[in-house]
A = this chain, B = another copy of it.
Amino acid sequence: MREFYTITELTREFGVSTRTLRFYEDEGLISPVRRGRTRLFRPGDRHLIKQIMRGKRLGFSIAEIREIVQMYKEPPGEAGQMRAIVDRVEEKRAELRQKRKDIEETLAELDQVEENCLNRLAELRVAS
């Protein structure tokens, strides 16, 4: 595993622009180290970007993604804070389960669409 990645390496890997990665840094989602002014991305930053992209595909806003990745990062603290995190984890899980349900329903309806099309195609073949 490599120690550092340049910004353009990661833009290519994830199909985003440099502007986007700098924007995520401004937004506090990633914190690459610097050599002079140049950003150096470590494997941990790369993994964070992977998580950000997942969040984006699921339609989470930057603010929501920040909430999620902060839960991953949160250092072990005192009991009250631990319980607060457990609660927030459960909230996010509920959201994700809703999304999964939405996906199942949409897939089912698309199955319907496809079946209708295939039936129609079969009819056309008989008619000709």
A residues with a Cβ closer than 8 A to B are 51, 54-60, 68, 71-72, 74, 76, 78-79, 82-83, 85-86, 89-90, 92-93, 96, 98-100, 102-103, 105-107, 109-110, 113-114, 116-118, 120-121, 124
Among B85, B98, B99, which residue has its beta carbon within 8 angstroms of that of A117?
B85
Q: Which of B54, B68, B124 touches A79 (beta carbons < 8 Å)? A: B124
A56–B120 alpha-carbon span in the complex (Å) = 30
A78 close to B118 (CB less than 8 A): no
A8 to chain B, nearest CB (A): 25
Identical chains in the assembly: 2
A103 touches B99 (CB 8 A): yes
Contact B102 A117, beta carbon cutoff 8 Å: no
- In the assembled complex, the CB of A15 is this many whole angstroms from the nearest CB of chain B, namely 13
- Closest 7 A-B residue pairs measured CB to CB? A59-B59, A54-B102, A82-B117, A76-B120, A89-B114, A89-B110, A86-B117
CA distance A110 to B83 in the complex (A): 14
Q: Which residues of B contact A55 (CB under 8 A)?
A: 106
Enumerate 11 A-B pairs (CB-CB under 8 Å) in ascending A order. A51-B106, A56-B59, A57-B59, A57-B99, A58-B99, A58-B103, A79-B121, A82-B120, A82-B121, A85-B113, A93-B107
